[in-house]
Amino acid sequence: MIGENLRKHRLKKGITLTELAQRSKVSKSYLNSLERNIKNNPSINLVKRLANELGTDIYQIIGEEKNSENPINEREEWRSFIKNVRDAGIENGELSEYKELIDYIKWKNRKVGG
């Protein structure tokens, strides 16, 4: 799925595979493998670079809903996590980066398990 999303956004932006590879500092062959779903396990840093170059966010690249609901049984765990994050001095504005990372890890875990 990541390959189709990547290709769709690249074509929508009107840039070639070579241009995107150069801009995102990744080899053209690796990027081609991602688009063809031969490789489907890119790093979070690469996904962020690609999303940035394509003018979108990681959720559009990995094909996840940005504001997906957590199951009820996880809410208390999330509350505890957020309390720990705030206790560590991390501000609300910085939380979006952590949410992106957590969503990416959840996506990656589903890919490995599924």
pLDDT at position 74? 65
The separation between the first and the last C-alpha atoms of the chain, rounded to the nearest angstrom, is: 13
Look up tokens 């599924």; give the residue: 114
Give the chain's residues under pLDDT 50. Answer: 70
Stated pTM of the model: 0.63
Domains contained in the chain, CATH given: 2-62 (1.10.260.40), 72-113 (no CATH)
Report the 10 Å Cβ neighbour count for 104: 21
Residues above pLDDT 70, as percent of the chain? 88
Q: CA–CA distance from 33 to each of 78, 86, 107 (Å)?
A: 36, 40, 19
CB 83 within 8 A of CB 57: no
